[in-house]
């Protein structure tokens, strides 16, 4: 098998070398003949003893085919013949088959014949001539003792299967460490009796540890009855039952199946055919291992190697369903044991689904983490922009307070002056002999009202100048805020001779925003409007503030004037920061107004009225419909 395990040559090259060796070995130096044969690939005939339904041989044959095709890269001609000897055991049939096969392969004789099982080996030995004159014969599937009985010629080599009952028994001991009883079952055929004799020798030592009983010379009914009554801590070793004591013939595995159905303890056996027929398992050469070993011998033969028979490697094999049935632990199995009919674990069954699910979950996790990070960033950016907005609005408010300071001072002076006048008047009244107390009381009420007015002016100024740490979002009526802005502007409008007209929609217009910010927007727009009317005749200076509902659950507040309007070319620029047409302007009022309106989900726009003057509209979402 050197050509198979060589690591230097590629499989193809090795194969060519093998074919050359084979040709030289078989055909010597006859140049013309070699030339003819070199043009073809080796022919291998697999000889099955029975028909295609017999699992043992077909499985081994399949393993032979697989191995040969794999190693030769399919550069091989494979033939299969089923001798069908279980249904046609007669001598006539054998002779017919021999004639038929000789004729069939006359022009294409195989280079190697693989004989599966005892009957195939016997057939090819007897009918070699004419069918496989120069072929190398490889046999397999029976023991060395059987091979000796068959008296096979020296040039035939094979894969021998030794049936070691001791190893099977040892596996049973590992699986049932608590067992006290050992039962060995064997039939009444010659072969069965020979087996029983072998077992007595092989198990001589082993059985000393148990209360041992040989169940033999029984009918199949007696077998089934006896095994049904055995103590649970028993090991049952089944050899073969080709015949029972009544002379009935059996296929051993069928007899084992019948017995296993009533058995009260686990049954073990040294044959692969007992698996799936009720046996827990045993130590034996699997069909697959046998086939592979035979194929390797055939490959060696093709490569021109002489070689000799080998033992096919045995394996411990168990039926996982039987382990479960008898409550035997797989952990006690000998190393390397094969478990057949093992139910796949959840992972084995669904690992693709599990991997896919995990991948989806991981992907989702990554996306969710990404979104959370993104949200955190956005929130941070939002709070940063809020902070900046607060700062800018505060500066804007301070500037507004500065710009309105003259009128604010005037607004404050009025109630203070009135208080002083009223106080002086009260003093005069008190100095009279009969002071009019009713009048004094009225004066005091007036003083209190004026004080209240002064207080309101001061708190307006304080509100304008107060620096706030955060946006104070609340729901309020837009009309109320417009009214409070007009109150602040009132003095300035008077001072500038501007008539203020307000047209609030007569219903509540709830919006959600920071009140002070919305008020500041109105103040900016109104201040600009008043600035725009400086050149207009005093009687035509009108500032109009109006509220209305807009489409899509929105509310609109417009600030218009009768000033010079905005040149068309500047309409797009007025909201740009630092855009100003005023000598002392900052160009920030409208950009701050836009920033505020957009912060609360609204829009601001500028335009000119058809009758002259500019109009600014802010549209904000209503806090609740209706
Ligand atoms: P500033 O008032 O400091 O100039 P704004 O951003 O408030 O800054 O205004 C930018 C410019 O928009 C003003 O300089 C002016 O040219 C124009 N503008 C704003 N409101 C009006 C208006 N009602 N009528 C005409 N032009 C206006």
Q: Per-residue pLDDT tens for 384-434?
A: 888 888 888 888 888 888 888 888 888 888 899 999 999 999 999 999 888
Report DSSP state, residue 498.
P
* CB-ligand 1 contact for 614 (6 Å cutoff): yes
- The Cα-based distances of 474 to 150, 403, 477, 618, 623 in angstroms read 106, 28, 10, 18, 10
Which residue's alpha carbon is at the smallest distance from atom 12 of ligand 1?
574
The DSSP secondary-structure symbol of 44 reads: E
Closest Cα to residue 112, out of 305, 312, 289, 290? 305
pLDDT of residue 68: 96
Atom number of ligand 1 nearest to Cα 561: 23
Q: Quick check: CB of 579 below 6 Å from ligand 1?
A: yes
528 pocket-lining for ligand 1 (C-beta < 6 Å): yes
What integer pLDDT is reported at residue 21 of this predicted model? 39
Query: Does the beta carbon of 497 lie inside 6 Å of ligand 1?
Result: no
More confident residue, 26 or 599: 599
Between CA 606 and CA 597 the distance in angstroms is 13
Q: Is the dihedral of CA 534, 536, 537, 538 positive or negative?
A: negative
Looking at residue 394, its pLDDT comes to 86
CA 558–ligand 1 middle distance (angstroms):
15
Q: Quick check: CB of 581 below 6 Å from ligand 1?
A: yes
The pLDDT of residue 8? 30
Q: What percent of the chain has pLDDT over 90?
A: 70
Q: What is the pLDDT of residue 18?
A: 41
Q: How far apart are CA 218 and CA 193, in angstroms?
A: 12
Question: Pick the residue with more confidence: 461 or 209?
Answer: 209
Helix locations, 264-345, DSSP H: 287-302, 320-326
Whether 558 is in the pocket of ligand 1, judged by its Cβ within 6 Å, is: no
Whether ligand 1 lies within 6 angstroms of the CB of 606 is answered as no
Residue 208 DSSP class: G
Q: What's the 580 CA to ligand 1 centre distance in angstroms?
A: 6
Ligand 1 centroid – CA 512 distance (Å) = 27
Low-confidence winner among 61-70, 71-80, 304-313 (lowest mean pLDDT): 304-313
Mean pLDDT of 260-284: 94
Which one is predicted more confidently, 303 or 176?
Answer: 176
Among protein residues, the one with the nearest Cα to ligand 1's atom 14 is: 580
Question: Which residue's CA is the nearest one to ligand 1's atom 20?
Answer: 528
Phi, psi values for residue 277, rounded to 5°: -120, 20
CA 548 to centroid of ligand 1, rounded, Å: 24
pLDDT score recorded for residue 512: 95
Q: Which residues, including other chains, have CB under 8 Å from residue 121's CB and lie 6 or more apart?
A: 115, 137, 139, 142, 147, 150, 152, 156, 158
Q: Which of 590, 614, 615 to mutate to test the pocket of ligand 1 (most atoms within 8 A of CB)?
A: 590
pLDDT band at 310 (very low <50, low <70, confident <90, very high): very high
Beta carbon of 589 within 6 Å of any ligand 1 atom = yes
Q: Which residue did the predictor score with more confidence, 461 or 625?
A: 461
Q: Which residues pair with 339 in a beta bridge?
A: 318
Count helices and strands in the chain by DSSP H and E runs: 19, 20
Question: Which residue out of 392, 496, 522, 528 has the highest number of ligand 1 atoms within 8 Å of its CB and is therefore the one to mutate?
Answer: 528
What value does the mean pLDDT take over residues 431-443? 90
Identify whether the C-beta of residue 138 lies closer than 8 Å to the C-beta of residue 115: yes
- Among 574, 591, 617, residue to substitute to test ligand 1 (most atoms within 8 Å of Cβ): 574
The yes-or-no verdict on residue 161 having pLDDT over 60 is: yes
Which residue in 292, 293, 294, 288 sits closest to 275, CA to CA? 288
CA distance 298 to 157: 9
Whether residue 582 has its Cβ less than 6 Å from ligand 1? yes
pLDDT digits (tens, 9 = 90+) for 179-204: 999 999 999 999 899 999 999 999 99
pLDDT recorded at residue 39: 59
- By most ligand atoms within 8 Å of CB, the mutation choice from 580, 593, 616 for ligand 1 is 580
- C-alpha distances out from residue 319 to 113, 337, 492, Å: 33, 11, 102
Q: Which of 539, 542, 483 is nearest to 515 (CA)?
A: 483
Largest pairwise CA distance in the chain: 166
Q: Is there an atom of ligand 1 within 6 Å of 216 CB?
A: no
pLDDT at residue 7 in the model? 30
Q: Is 310 exposed, middle or buried (0-12, 13-18, 19+ CB in 10 A)?
A: middle
| 618 vs 598: CA distance, rounded Å | 10
Question: Does ligand 1 come within 6 angstroms of the Cβ of 587?
Answer: yes
Cβ–Cβ contacts within 10 Å for residue 537, how many?
9
Instruction: Compute the distance between CA of residue 233 and CA of residue 179 in angstroms, rounded to an integer.
Output: 4
What lies within 8 Å, CB to CB, of 70 at 6+ separation is: none
Nearest atom (ligand 1) to Cα of 528: 20
Encoding tokens for residue 260? 């296993």
442 contacts: CB under 8 Å, gap ≥ 6: none
Residue 10: per-residue pLDDT: 37
Is residue 12 over pLDDT 70? Answer: no
**CB-count exposure of residue 535 (10 Å: 0-12, 13-18, 19+):** exposed
Quick check: 212 pLDDT over 90? yes
Ligand 1 centre to CA of 527 (Å) is 9
- How much is the pLDDT for 305? 82
Cα-to-centroid distance, 615 and ligand 1 (Å): 11
- Name which of 2-16, 317-331, 398-412, 519-533 the model is least confident about: 2-16
C-alpha of residue 579 to centroid of ligand 1, in Å: 8
- Confidence (pLDDT) at 6: 29
Confidence label for 116 from pLDDT (cuts 50, 70 and 90): very high
Query: In this predicted model, what pLDDT tens digit does every residue of 14-51 receive, in sequence order?
Result: 444 444 334 333 333 333 333 334 458 999 999 999 88
Q: What is the mean pLDDT of residues 546-563?
A: 95
Place of tokens 């000799």: 308
Task: Concatenate the DSSP letters of all residues of 459-524 into one string.
Answer: HHHHHHH---SS--EEEEEHHHHHHHHHHHHHHHHHHHTPEEEEE--SS--EEEEEHHHHHHHHHH
State whether the beta carbon of 574 lies less than 6 angstroms from ligand 1: yes
Q: Separation of 502 CA from ligand 1 center, angstroms?
A: 21
Q: What angle do CA 435, 441, 447 make, to 5 degrees?
A: 120
Q: Is 586 in the pocket of ligand 1 (CB under 6 A)?
A: yes
Q: Is residue 572 classed as helix, strand or coil in its secondary structure?
A: coil
CA of 573 to the centre of ligand 1 (A): 10
CA-proximal residue: ligand 1, atom 22 (nearest): 529
Going from the Cα of 525 to the center of ligand 1, the distance in angstroms, rounded, reads 8
- Of 198, 274, 273, 272, nearest to 236 by C-alpha is 274
Q: Is the CB of 585 under 6 A from ligand 1?
A: yes
Average pLDDT, the chain: 89
**Minimal CA–CA distance to 140: which of 239, 285, 246, 22?**
285
Atom index in ligand 1 nearest the CA of residue 525 equals 20
The closest-lying atom of ligand 1 relative to the alpha carbon of residue 591 is 6
Per-residue pLDDT, 459: 87
Are the C-beta atoms of 243 and 189 separated by less than 8 Å? yes
Question: Could you tell me where the DSSP H helices lie in 436-477?
Answer: 437-465
């Amino acid at each position: 098998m050197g050509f198979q395990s060589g690591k230097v040559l590629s499989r193809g090259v090795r194969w060519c070398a093998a074919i050359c060796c084979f040709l030289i070995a078989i055909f010597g130096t006859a140049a013309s003949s070699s030339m003819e044969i070199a043009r073809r690939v080796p022919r291998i005939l697999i000889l099955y003893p029975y028909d295609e339904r017999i699992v043992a041989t077909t499985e081994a044959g399949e393993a032979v085919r697989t191995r040969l095709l794999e190693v030769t890269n399919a550069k091989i001609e494979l033939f299969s013949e089923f001798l069908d000897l279980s249904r046609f055991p007669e001598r006539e049939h054998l002779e017919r088959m021999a004639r038929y096969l000789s004729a069939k392969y006359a022009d294409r004789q195989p280079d190697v014949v693989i004989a599966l099982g005892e009957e195939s080996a016997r057939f090819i030995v007897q009918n070699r001539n004419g069918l496989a004159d120069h072929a190398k014969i490889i046999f397999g599937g029976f023991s060395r003792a059987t091979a000796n009985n068959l008296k096979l010629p020296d040039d035939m080599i094979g894969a021998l299967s030794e049936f070691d009952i001791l190893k099977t028994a040892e596996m049973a001991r590992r699986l049932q460490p608590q067992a006290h009883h050992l039962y060995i079952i064997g039939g009444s055929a010659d072969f069965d009796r020979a087996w029983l004799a072998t077992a007595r020798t092989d198990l001589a030592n082993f059985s000393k540890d148990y209360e041992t009983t040989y169940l033999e010379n029984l009918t199949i009914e007696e077998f089934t009855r006896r095994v049904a009554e055995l103590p649970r801590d028993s090991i049952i070793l089944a050899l073969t039952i080709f015949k029972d004591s009544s002379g009935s013939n059996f296929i051993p595995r069928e007899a084992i199946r019948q017995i296993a159905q009533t058995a009260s303890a686990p049954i073990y056996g040294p044959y692969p055919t007992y698996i799936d027929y009720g046996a827990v398992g045993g130590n034996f050469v699997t069909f697959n291992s046998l086939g592979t070993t035979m194929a390797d011998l055939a490959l060696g033969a093709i490569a021109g190697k002489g070689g000799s028979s080998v033992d096919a490697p045995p394996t411990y094999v168990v039926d996982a369903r039987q382990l479960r049935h008898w409550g035997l632990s797989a952990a006690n199995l000998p190393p390397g044991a094969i478990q057949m009919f093992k139910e796949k674990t959840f992972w084995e069954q669904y690992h693709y689904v599990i991997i896919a699910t995990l991948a989806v979950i991981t992907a989702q996790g990554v996306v969710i983490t990404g979104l959370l990070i993104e949200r955190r960033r956005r929130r941070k950016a939002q709070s940063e922009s809020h902070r900046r907005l607060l700062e800018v609005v505060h500066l804007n408010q301070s500037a507004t307070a500065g710009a309105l300071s003259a009128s604010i001072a005037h607004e404050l002076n009025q109630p203070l002056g009135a208080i002083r006048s009223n106080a002086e008047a009260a003093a005069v009244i008190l100095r009279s002999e009969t002071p009019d107390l009713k009048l004094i009381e009225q004066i005091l009420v007036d003083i209190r009202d004026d004080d209240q007015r002064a207080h309101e002016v001061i708190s307006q100024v304080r509100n304008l100048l107060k620096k706030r740490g955060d946006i104070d979002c609340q729901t309020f009526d837009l009309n109320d805020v417009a009214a409070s802005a007009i109150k602040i502007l009132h003095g300035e409008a008077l001072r500038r001779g501007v008539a203020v007209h307000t047209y609030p929609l007569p219903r509540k217009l709830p919006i959600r925003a920071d009140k002070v910010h919305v008020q500041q927007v109105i103040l900016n727009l109104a201040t600009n409007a008043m600035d725009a009317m400086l050149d207009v005749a005093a009687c035509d200076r009108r500032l109009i503030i109006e509220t209305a509902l807009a489409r899509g659950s929105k509310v609109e507040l417009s600030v218009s004037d009768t000033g010079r309007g905005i040149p068309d070319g500047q309409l797009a620029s007025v909201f740009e920061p630092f855009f100003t047409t005023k000598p002392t302007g900052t160009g920030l009022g409208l950009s701050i107004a836009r920033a505020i309106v957009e912060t609360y989900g609204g829009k601001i726009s500028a335009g000119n009225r058809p009758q002259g003057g500019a109009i600014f509209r802010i549209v904000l979402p209503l806090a609740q419909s209706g």
